[in-house]
Amino acid sequence: MNRVVGIVVCGGVLFGLAATAIGAPGGTSKIVQTDQARGAEAIMDLLTQKERGLQRREATLETREADLRAAEAELQSRLDELKKVREDIQGMLNQLDEEQERRVTSLVKMMEAMRDKQAASILNEAEDAVALEVLMRMNVAKAGKALAKMEPARAAFFAEKMGRPPLATGAP
């Protein structure tokens, strides 16, 4: 019987200690609870701060992304505008090329219709690039006769230019 009483007393003491540790009304359980509450509160505050920081960062990134999209749209607009200007310039250059082709062709026909001495005197005074272009397009026999009537230094200059390969450096 003493044994039974001892077991019951020990069980009661252990039960009381367990109840205090778990949070039953008593002196030390409030301190444990308060420390736990403060720790949980601190963790919640940290998490809230991190969440706010992440929200600010996300807003900043969204703003930057919107700015980049706007800049990309502006660049695309400018690129399209430049392409149009390029096409316009290319069209104008083609018109100029066609006009120059007509003029040179007309000049070649006039030079071929002239006497050799007249053609030679005109080509002597013409710009090098124009004279060379006309001589290269003229009938070979007529161009040769015109070169023969030109000043010897000028005729040698044109003969040298006409004999060069088309992509030689310094060729007009």
Comparing 32 with 157, the larger pLDDT belongs to 157
Residue 68 lies in a domain: yes
Comparing 9 with 161, the larger pLDDT belongs to 161
The mean pLDDT of 17-39, rounded to a whole number, is: 61
- Answer whether 136's CB lies under 8 Å from 107's CB: no
Q: Give which of 172, 148, 145, 153 is closest to 161, Cα–Cα.
A: 172
Percent of the chain with pLDDT over 90: 37
pLDDT value at position 93? Answer: 92
Q: In this model, does residue 59 exceed pLDDT 50?
A: yes
Q: In this model, does residue 22 exceed pLDDT 80?
A: no
Residue 70 lies in a domain: yes
Q: What is the DSSP letter of 170?
A: T
The mean pLDDT of 148-167, rounded to a whole number, is: 84
Q: Which two tokens stand for residue 32?
A: 């444990």
Residue 19 lies in a domain: no
Residue 168 lies in a domain: no
pLDDT tens readout for residues 63-111: 999 999 999 999 999 999 999 999 999 999 999 889 888 988 988 898 8
Residue 33 lies in a domain: no
DSSP string, 113-159: HS-HHHHHHHHHHS-HHHHHHHHHHS-HHHHHHHHHHS-HHHHHHHH
Count of domains forming the chain: 1
- Domain range for residue 119? 53-163
Residue 85 lies in a domain: yes
Q: Give which of 93, 101, 91, 169 is closest to 137, Cα–Cα.
A: 101
Residue 87 lies in a domain: yes
Q: In this model, does residue 39 exceed pLDDT 50?
A: yes
pLDDT tens readout for residues 121-135: 899 888 988 899 999
Residue 44 lies in a domain: no
Mean of the per-residue pLDDT values for the chain? 82
